[in-house]
Structure formats: C-alpha cells, structure tokens
Amino acid sequence: MHVISKVMPEHDEIYSAWLPHRPPWDLLSRIVDWDGIKILAEMYVSPELPFLTGHFPDRPVTPGVVILEGLTHAGAMLVFLNHPERKDSGVALAKVEKVLFKEALFPPVLATLLVTLKREGRGLYFFEGTVRVDQKVVATAEFVGGAVNWKDR
C-alpha cells in the first residue's frame, strides 16, 4: 500500500477524534496503513469484553456482529482519512450484502482487517472486507455504509 499519511491513528485518536464509539465498542486497536482505496487495521479481541461473557461461557467466541462492526469501523476510518472534512458526520452500517465466517474468532486474538472501498455515491460507500488471523482468512464481507449526520440526531 502507498501511505498517504505518515502518522497512522492509534486506538485513542481513532475513538476520540474520529469515531463516536465508546467501550466496549471501541474495536479498532490501530490503523496499520491506508492508501485512499484500502485500509489495513488491527482489532484486538480481549476475553474480558462484556459481550463475550455469555457467548459462550465455556469457550468464548467473538460474535459475528462484532466482526462486522470492526469492518464497519475500518470502512468509516477509510472514508474519514480520505475526507477529513466529513468526520463530524458519520458512516453507519446500512446493509450487509454477503458475509462468510470461515473460522471462529477465539479471544484473546489480534485480527487484521483489510477493507477496500469499491465505489461511493449519493452518500453510500460500498466496501469489501477481509478479516485474517495469522494470515488465515476467518471472515469476508461485502457491506454498505451510509453517511449519517450525527449532529441532527
């Protein structure tokens, strides 16, 4: 990837300056790289996350919705890094077109998320995402993010 910015946002900057989420939904650990079309991020899933308590008690498994939410956060960051003037609005998950969970994500785990912006228009962003652990694909998704004006809500 060609790096546009020399400084990649870390967890605290992502969630204080860019995304509105707060614990336990502050899923991205850091942005590794981005090039305007793709973003590479890391998501550390700790076994202490509250939504893992009952999913499942004897062997916690990261819920698929959490994996999708992580991909959505990475997609939103891609939009905001490309268009910093849009960071006061938002990008929310509008549609999941295809999703495939190939392997379970057992915490503790550091997952790598690669999200590609396929196209955008009329306030919609069309993404493809891949989640890997140790280079092995554990999930893929095609999803749509919609522009949201959080200040009017």
Q: What is the DSSP string of 120-137?
A: EETTEEEEEEEEEETTEE
Query: Is pLDDT above 50 for 5?
Result: no
- Two tokens, residue 70: 């992580």
Integer Cα distance of 35 and 23 in angstroms? 28
Which CATH number among 3.10.129.10, 3.30.2010.10, 3.40.50.300, 3.90.1150.10 corresponds to the domain 11-152? 3.10.129.10
Structure confidence by residue, pLDDT tens digits, 78-106: 999 988 888 778 899 999 999 999 999 99
Is the pLDDT at 131 greater than 80, yes or no? yes
Which has the higher per-residue pLDDT, 128 or 80? 128
Contact residues for 145 (Cβ-Cβ < 8 A; gap 6+): 72, 75, 76, 79, 91, 92, 93, 94, 124, 125, 127
Span 35-57, pLDDT tens digits: 999 999 999 999 999 989 888 88
Average predicted confidence (pLDDT) for the chain: 90
Active site residues: 55
pLDDT of residue 87: 73
Which of 50-54, 108-112, 130-134 bottoms out in mean pLDDT, i.e. has the lowest? 50-54
| Residue 82 CB-density burial (10 A; 0-12 exposed, 13-18 middle, 19+ buried) | middle
Quote the pLDDT of residue 13. 84
In the chain, where the domains are located? 11-152
